Amino acid sequence: MVAHTVLLDFTVSSNVVCDTDKRSNLKSSIASVLRDHFDGLKTLTDSTIDNSFFVLYAGPRSSLITVRGYAEGLVTVNIEYYKQDDEEALMSLEWRDLEADIAMALNSQRSKRLPPVRRGTIYDLYLTLSDERLLEYDIDKLVFEARSPYQKVQIVHSKSLGNLLVLDELQNMSEADLIYTETLMQRGKENYTGKEIVILGGGDGGLLWELLKEKPKYVTMLEIDDVVMKACSQHMRSICGDCLDKRKGDNYEIIVGDCVKALAHMIDEGRQFDYVFGDLTDIPISTTPHGDAWDFIRLILNSSMKVLKPSGKYMTHGNGASCPESLSMFENVLSELSVPVVFTKDSAFVPSFFEVWIFYQVMRK
């Protein structure tokens, strides 16, 4: 059961909207087409706003049709109605036919119809790219949902991606995203055999599972959200295997808690590692590298440098390649750490992100 919103827009000459007589003819032309497509159409509101207009109609099945004309020559038609699970789309209406008929009636220079937007689903069909552009996913089932003390945790099923972990309405990891983990760990370029490793975050278990295949000496994973790990252990086993089933194995341990506090404790103890993985928050999208999120990133980076061996590496993900300004800010932050560092970077197209993602490898100079 969802609300459907159908969006159509048309470009006409601006004087067709601004001129009083032409505007009246335009509204009459649209109303005539709508009555051909919708039985029992009733006008609820007809108003003029400066040189633009607004008309609201009631249609069948409690639908609302909004027609808005802008002085610049844009006319929009929005149809909203509620669809029960066992109902067909409104009147089995062919939206492309409606678009074509209105475009012809208006002699429109350009028209556009968007697929129906579905609102009110129990799972979110619409997620975003790193720069906030909208994506519609082929999600067909809610697999798991809970609110932990830290975030909203969902696992949904996508017909093309498999199960997908969504945290606070942001896609995190799908069963099709092995390339994300392999690029983060630079598989084939780094040798983890016999190495001591720390993972900051990584609650989906994908990174831990893949690192354990490389026969490290020991991996310590610091993850704050037990709800995420339990959900992934049950519903994302193709990416995490059985490594989240227990908190300690022969060559790894999962510590549930705040990684900042755990890092501080490691620094006090003088512990040193070959690799630290930052599998935490993305690089923020902001105009300046300031605020709580950036302060957190600086704290993690500086703390990680203190627990790395002189030859060690800090491995992390950045953000989408579509966010060059934020990536540049992150690189400036790297140049201002408490110890001088150099970095390399790599990229990969991550299926569930629908974009190229940037990954960093940071070393002491």
Based on the residue annotation, tell me whether 282 is a catalytic residue of this protein: no
The sign of the torsion formed by the CA atoms of 269, 331, 274, 240 equals: positive
Run of H or E residues at 38: none
Catalytic residue among 177, 204, 274, 279, which?
279
Distance separating alpha carbons of residues 18 and 216, to the nearest angstrom: 72
Instruction: Please answer whether residues 151 and 226 qualify as being in contact, where contact means their C-beta atoms are separated by less than 8 angstroms.
Output: no
Q: How many CB atoms lie within 10 A of CB 98?
A: 20
Query: What distances in angstroms separate CA 339 from CA 12, 26, 207, 312, 363, one per listed residue?
Result: 61, 68, 27, 13, 10
Q: Phi and psi for 52 in degrees, rounded to 5?
A: -120, 175
The residues annotated with a catalytic role in the active site are 279
